[in-house]
């Protein structure tokens, strides 16, 4: 069951934002409200925060709020100068809906785990002073020793703000950082999705640490939700939390194309109808890329990755020269460039080509960084960069924060000397940014047996997902459909049914959200 939220954006365009159910019936069955009749969900002291029925701009002074007595909303006192509110319960992965209202020039923030802020700000018809200050921005980190001191702020893709005095909304899916048994962080926190007034403003933004002015400077597996209370008048209502659900699941275009699904629009529509989060196509030029993005954006789907390659041989064209133009188009979409590497001079997995590969990949990574694009090294059977171990070695030498690696199940099964997925994943975790899966036979030797729909094959997909979960992987997971053939819709439908079954192991502990309510 999906809940549809129809909201007119600031541009006047009516958008539909679909939040897919995450539980066996619906995520809202575990919905935990934090606003309503009282302040019982919040830690003491609650300072000047009050429970009210509604808030509006004060007559004669639009920098203040006036309130109506009653229940349902909370406001941070008459002047907007009081303590920050922290929830009594602590959360990790979470889905949050929150409605807020600010006075003119006011400023607040919603801090996930008390550490990672989505900015609440009067951005109505305003330009940005720096990345992350805008309403819906992910606020910057801070380091006194750096110049500039603020860094890693993320502006929203668009300014979706309403005028001060109007109720606005955020819908957020957040993933907590992960830690091993020793307490060492093995995966960063990330905002998987942020929608502002129904408009998508962020996808898959990775956070290397807490943002500025949070309640804590450290990082933990769990933390409270915090509302900033001392930067000006703000009201909140209809604030609730629910389980975040499993990792986003998308399809490679190797699984989406058949005689009935040739165009970007046909493929995007099919993926939307079947419940996929998006697609990972091959790169064939700026024109097809632009068309695909248009079709995906129209359906609230993501272009998770773009498959392209490099050639490390001397004298060879190292990569498609149009890639740098593609990066400009991808700015703001948080798309990963899947990078495979080929060579006629060097055999698979040989280290003689490392220096040239590092040179090319650093050039691409630096160009991509200026457009907020990441690279993920893609191991491929019989290519120079053939194994997951190859990609980890090269990523370490490239040493760029926007360069990670992909684990490809079918290629790992084809070339891996063992079937120890746990060790392979754990060794890759510092760089792991993408995972591709499919049904397969554990003893398969060719693509016919190593690439099947997710409901087929002897390989233990559910057990593999448990390995990903235990290793701390929270990123997207793609379906590889190369060479399966037949009807794309049928293949994808059966794969989605299998995913919904297997991915139960990724749903996490929902106990903190209380006993489930009856599905609406």
pTM for the structure as a whole: 0.88
b/e per residue 75-85 (b: at least 16 CB within 10 A): bbbeebebbbb
- Please tell me whether residues 135 and 281 are part of one structural domain: no
Q: CA 73 → CA 89, 238, 466, 505, distances in Å?
A: 19, 7, 40, 36
pLDDT at 11 over 60: no
Average pLDDT over residues 190-211: 95
pLDDT digits (tens, 9 = 90+) for 295-331: 999 999 999 999 999 999 999 999 999 999 999 999 9
CA 409 to chain CA centroid, nearest Å: 21
| Residue 209 forms part of a structural domain | yes
Element housing 477 (H / E): strand 477-479
Phi/psi at 104 (5° precision): -60, 130
503-to-147, 274, 499 alpha-carbon distances in Å: 43, 16, 6
Same domain (yes/no): 216, 269: no
In terms of domains, do 136 and 278 share one?
A: no
Would you say residue 21 lies in a domain?
A: yes
Question: What is residue 3's predicted lDDT score, i.e. its pLDDT?
Answer: 32
For residues 235 and 257, membership in a common domain is answered with: no
Mean pLDDT of 400-428: 93
Euclidean distance between CA atoms 512 and 92, whole angstroms: 10
Q: Distance between CA atoms of 269 and 279, rounded to whole angstroms?
A: 11
Residue 198 carries which DSSP code? T
Give me 59's structure tokens: 């007559």
129: pLDDT confidence band, cut at 50, 70 and 90?
Answer: confident
The reported pLDDT for the residue numbered 518 is 53
CA of residue 308 relative to chain centroid, distance = 22
Given 187, 218, 242, the domain boundary residue is 242
Is residue 311 domain-resident?
yes
Same domain, 238 and 254: no
* pLDDT per position as a tens digit, 435-487: 999 999 999 999 999 999 999 999 999 999 999 999 999 999 999 999 999 99
Whether 257 and 159 map to the same domain: the answer is no
For the chain, how many structural domains are there in total?
Answer: 2
Q: Are residues 191 and 253 in the same domain?
A: no
Out of 242, 272, 304, pick the residue that ends a domain.
242
Tokens for 139, please give them: 């606020």
Boundary of a domain, candidates 242, 277, 300: 242
- Residue 333 sits in the same domain as residue 195: no
Q: How confident is the model at residue 55 (pLDDT cuts 50, 70, 90)?
A: very high
Q: State pLDDT tens for residues 64-92.
A: 999 999 999 999 999 999 999 999 999 99
Question: Does the structure show a pLDDT above 60 at 19?
Answer: no
CATH of residue 119: 2.60.120.560
414 within some domain: yes
Question: Are both 261 and 234 inside the same structural domain?
Answer: no
At residue 512, the pLDDT reads 81
In a domain, 184, yes or no: yes
Average pLDDT score over residue span 242-254: 96
Q: Are residues 23 and 73 in the same domain?
A: yes
Q: Residue range 129-149: average pLDDT?
A: 90
Tell me, what CATH number does 318's domain have? 3.20.20.150
Same domain, 283 and 325: yes
Share of the chain above pLDDT 90, in %: 85
Would you say residue 312 lies in a domain? yes
Same domain for 290 and 226? no
- Whole-angstrom distance, CA of residue 266 vs CA of residue 299: 12
Kind plus residue range of the DSSP H or E element containing 63: strand 61-75
| 357-391 residue pLDDT tens | 999 999 999 999 999 899 999 999 999 999 999 99
Give the phi and the psi of residue 374 in degrees, each rounded to 5.
-110, 160
Average pLDDT, the chain: 92
Let me know if residue 417 belongs to a domain. yes
Residue 516 located in a structural domain: no
Cα separation, 97 vs 242, whole angstroms = 9
Provide the residue range defining the domain that includes 378.
Answer: 249-506
pLDDT at 516 over 70: no
Sign of CA dihedral 463, 464, 466, 470: positive
Q: In the structure, what pLDDT confidence band is assigned to residue 23 with cuts at 50, 70 and 90?
A: very low
């Amino acid at each position: 069951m999906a809940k549809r939220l129809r909201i007119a954006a600031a541009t006047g365009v009516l958008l539909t934002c679909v939040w897919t159910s995450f539980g066996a019936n619906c995520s809202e069955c575990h919905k935990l409200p934090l606003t309503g009749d009282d302040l019982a969900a919040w830690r003491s002291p609650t300072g000047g925060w009050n429970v009210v029925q509604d808030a509006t701009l004060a007559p004669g002074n639009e920098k203040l709020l006036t309130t109506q007595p009653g229940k349902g909303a909370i406001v941070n006192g008459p002047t907007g100068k009081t303590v920050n509110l922290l929830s009594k319960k602590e959360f990790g992965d979470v889905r949050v809906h929150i409605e807020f209202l600010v006075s003119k020039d006011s400023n607040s923030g919603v801090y996930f785990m008390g550490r990672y802020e989505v900015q609440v700000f009067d951005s109505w018809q305003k330009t940005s002073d720096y990345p992350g200050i805008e309403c819906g921005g992910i606020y910057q980190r801070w380091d006194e020793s750096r110049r500039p001191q603020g860094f890693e702020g993320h502006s929203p893709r668009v300014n979706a703000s309403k005028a001060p005095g109007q109720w606005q909304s955020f819908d957020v899916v957040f993933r907590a950082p992960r830690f091993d048994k020793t307490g060492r962080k093995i995966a960063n926190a990330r905002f998987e999705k942020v929608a502002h007034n129904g408009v998508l403003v962020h996808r898959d933004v990775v956070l290397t640490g807490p943002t500025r002015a949070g309640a804590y400077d450290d990082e933990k597996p769990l933390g409270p939700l915090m509302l900033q209370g001392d930067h000006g008048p703000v009201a909140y209502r209809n604030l609730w939390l629910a389980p975040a659900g499993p990792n986003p699941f998308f399809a490679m275009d190797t699984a989406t194309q058949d005689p009935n699904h040739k165009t970007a629009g046909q493929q995007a529509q099919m993926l939307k109808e079947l419940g996929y989060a998006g697609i990972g196509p091959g790169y064939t030029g700026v024109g097809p890329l632009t068309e695909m993005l248009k079709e995906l954006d129209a359906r609230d789907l993501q272009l998770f990755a773009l498959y392209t390659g490099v050639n490390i041989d001397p004298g060879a064209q190292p990569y498609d020269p149009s890639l740098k133009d593609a990066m400009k188009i991808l700015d703001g979409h948080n798309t990963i460039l899947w990078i495979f590497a080929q060579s006629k001079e060097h055999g698979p997995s040989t280290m003689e080509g490392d220096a040239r590969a590092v040179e090319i990949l650093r050039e691409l990574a630096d160009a991509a960084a200026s457009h907020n694009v990441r690279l993920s090294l893609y191991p491929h059977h019989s290519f120079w960069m053939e194994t997951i171990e190859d990609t980890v070695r090269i990523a370490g030498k490239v040493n760029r924060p926007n360069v990670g690696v992909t684990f490809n199940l079918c290629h790992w099964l084809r070339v891996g000397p063992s079937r120890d997925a746990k060790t392979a994943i754990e060794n890759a975790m510092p760089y792991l940014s993408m995972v591709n899966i499919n049904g397969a036979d554990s003893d398969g030797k060719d693509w016919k047996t190593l690439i099947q729909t997710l409901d087929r094959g002897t390989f233990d997909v559910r057990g593999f997902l448990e390995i990903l979960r235990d290793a701390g992987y929270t990123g997207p997971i793609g379906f590889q459909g190369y060479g399966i053939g037949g009807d794309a819709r049928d293949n994808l439908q059966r794969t989605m049914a299998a995913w919904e079954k297997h991915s139960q192991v990724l749903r996490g502990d929902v106990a903190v959200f209380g006993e489930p309510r009856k599905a609406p």
